[in-house]
Structure 1
Amino acid sequence: MKKSFQTLALILLSMLTFAQNHTLPLWEGTPPLQNPSDLQEESTQQGILRIANVQTPSIDVYLPTKQIATGEAVVIFPGGGYAILAYDWEGTDFAKWFNAQGIAAIVVKYRLPISKSLTDPKEVPLLDAQRAIRMVRANAEAWNINTSKVGIMGFSAGGHLASTLSTEYAHEVNRPKDSIDALSARPDFSILVYPVISFRDAAVHSGSRKNLIGENASQELMDRFSGELNVTADTPPTFLVHAQDDKGVPIENSLLYYQALHQHGVKASLHIYPSGGHGFAFGLGKGAVEGWREVLLAWMRETVK
């Protein structure tokens, strides 16, 4: 009897764990804008879990217990210069932290434009990002999420992807569609952490630009993927955080985006810390920037209603 009870308890625990944290593919079969291939995803754990050559994009769904759930959700895009994904450092670690605040979190393993299997690499990260937020809305009832409280969060190049989604959520490419495509891909709010924003020379992160649109991209392409040039009054409310001493992605990226948001009457909150460098994530042990997450939660309480 005791053994049977222990077995039942393990089964129930397993079911609960699956319900709270599970993985779903973004697309059925071969994803759009991709040729079938035998290329394999690569994962390395060297302090940070780095994922490269994503061939099967997916979402990792982290749900808080219903007792503390706020109905809010944050779709997270890890950074990595469009070459890799810093998947735990800027992804799953934050998903777990959000869950502790009662907020659902969905980490996106999006395809990277340097993959040789892609047919139109520059369009693929945005396409995966649109799909991810639509999938969250499609599953909102089952996941106890309010469809009008679905935001996004991006770090570094993931911040570029988040800002692109914020300004180009209605962008379309020629591909087969299904019922999920009828749902809105517009985020209700956006959180940009030391984001790449501009592909113009004054503020550019050259690695992200090269990996997404190539070394000799036209001015038209550089402008299309410079978020500060594409803000409208419909761009979602945005929280920005950056360190003044960021040597990887110049602080001008956040300044330019904030200025564009302000000019278009979009609610925005910009937080600049004197130190922290690039890639500070939680900011632990890096001085004042360590408190940025509490500032974020206060902003969300005021903004996400």
Structure 2
Amino acid sequence: MAGTAFTGLAIVCASAPAPAQNDRMTPIAVPVQSGAITLNTGALPGASVPESWHSQYGSVFARNVTVATLTPFLPDPAKASGAAVIVAPGGGFRTLSMENEGWDVAKALAARGIAAFVLKYRLNQTPADMPAFEESMRQMFAGPVRPPQADANGAFTGLAPQIADARAAFALTRARAMQWHIDTNRIGMVGFSAGAMLTLATELAGEDAKPAFIGIIYGPLGPVSVPADAPPVFVALAADDPLFGNGGYGLIDSWRAAKRPVEFHLYEQGGHGFGMYQKTTTSTGWFDAFARWLGMHGLLKPAG
């Protein structure tokens, strides 16, 4: 994702959880990522800065990811439904909110009987030095926030490495479906912010990933060209989201016009980046609503 299409989205976390604290980015050692499987998409072309991690807002973030991985979170076999979800954290394609929008989401899905797989996709390179990184972020936000750019079909441009990572994640999950007790026809994807963009782009790319369902959590909702066989989509957004709260709801209109299933939750408050943080706003209820939606589509129990 070279280029500037996502300049206005390059944020570690657009709004802090309540209470706003621990907002300083503190470097940490790269954590042990038990069970992480390296995907076959290779190293990010031209990358020279190694992967690093930091803590912020009581969570942990990765940046300068040059090699993609997929980490399984499998449910208790006694309650496994056979459905699965690829989880794509956000972070403006400069960082990944690995805990709040990755591991915590995957654990919650596994507790409901859904196999979950956290995708650590490749990112735009940032300065290795934390002060230099912070300064680059300040400079980036010195001007107006620009919305993401889309092509004539409504698909986001400049995402070739990330779409390749998502496709590889689907391919790996299907290849190991028997080992992980997964129904290959019931694998979906959920993404947050930049991860929501990747989720939508993966669907609109129309190649071999073919998610069975998708979740768009505080991503941009501009109109798109919806495939005739588009999967059911679940959308959650806070009305006070500083990035996407005032951009209209064309995505919803597009899905409805195509007569494809869509569910949309617009929360009064919540800001951007609420994820699995326990805030006082009703946006905290998005996951329970998502789980009920999965259940409505028969994904919380084995296929009949």
Give the TM-score category using the shorter length: 0.7 to 0.9
TM-score by length of 1: 0.72
Q: Secondary structure at the match of 1:152?
A: strand
Q: Hey, what does 1:41 align to over in structure 2?
A: 51
Preserved CA contact (<8 Å) 1:163 1:197:
no
For 1:147-296, what aligned pairs fall within 5 Å after superposition?
A: 147-170=184-207, 184-198=208-222, 228-252=223-247, 255-282=249-276, 284-296=278-290
Per the TM alignment, residue 196 of structure 1 is displaced from its structure 2 partner at its CA by: 2.8
Unaligned runs of 5+ in 1: 1-20, 171-183, 199-227
Preserved CA contact (<8 Å) 2:100 2:277:
no
Is the radius of gyration larger for structure 1 or structure 2? 1
Per the TM alignment, residue 34 of structure 1 is displaced from its structure 2 partner at its CA by: 2.3
Preserved CA contact (<8 Å) 1:130 1:169:
no
Per the TM alignment, residue 286 of structure 1 is displaced from its structure 2 partner at its CA by: 2.5
Per the TM alignment, residue 302 of structure 1 is displaced from its structure 2 partner at its CA by: 1.7
Identity %: 31
Asked if 1:110 is matched to 2:121, the reply is: yes
Per the TM alignment, residue 197 of structure 1 is displaced from its structure 2 partner at its CA by: 4.4
For 1:38-187, what aligned pairs fall within 5 Å after superposition?
A: 39-46=49-56, 47-114=58-125, 122-170=159-207, 184-187=208-211
Per the TM alignment, residue 290 of structure 1 is displaced from its structure 2 partner at its CA by: 2.2
Return structure 1 stretches of 4+ with deviation > 4 angstroms: none
Preserved CA contact (<8 Å) 2:106 2:117:
yes
Distance, in Å, in 2 between the alignment partners of 1:25 and 1:230 is 33
Q: Mark the CA change 1:286 to 1:138 in structure 2 (over 3 Å): closer, same or farther.
A: same
For 1:4-15, what aligned pairs fall within 5 Å after superposition?
A: none
Distance, in Å, in 2 between the alignment partners of 1:49 and 1:256 is 33
Preserved CA contact (<8 Å) 1:156 1:249:
no
Q: Mark the CA change 1:115 to 1:284 in structure 2 (over 3 Å): closer, same or farther.
A: closer
Q: Which amino acid aligns with 2:83?
A: E
In the comparison of the two structures, how many residue pairs are matched? 236
Q: Mark the CA change 1:283 to 1:271 in structure 2 (over 3 Å): closer, same or farther.
A: farther
Q: Cα deviation per residue 1:141-175 (whole Å; 9 max; x = unaligned)?
A: 100111111000000011000011111141xxxxx
RMSD (Å) for aligned C-alpha atoms: 2.1
Preserved CA contact (<8 Å) 1:276 1:283:
no
Q: Cα deviation per residue 1:111-151 (whole Å; 9 max; x = unaligned)?
A: 014479xxx96411111111111111111110011111100
Per the TM alignment, residue 295 of structure 1 is displaced from its structure 2 partner at its CA by: 1.5
TM-score by length of 2: 0.72
Distance, in Å, in 2 between the alignment partners of 1:251 and 1:64 is 38
Q: Cα deviation per residue 1:273-302 (whole Å; 9 max; x = unaligned)?
A: 111111111252333222222211121112
Unaligned runs of 5+ in 2: 1-33, 128-156
Preserved CA contact (<8 Å) 2:213 2:233:
yes
Per the TM alignment, residue 265 of structure 1 is displaced from its structure 2 partner at its CA by: 1.1
Q: Hey, what does 1:223 align to over in structure 2?
A: none
Structure scoring higher RCO (CA < 8 A, sep ≥ 6) equals: 2
Distance, in Å, in 2 between the alignment partners of 1:54 and 1:291 is 31
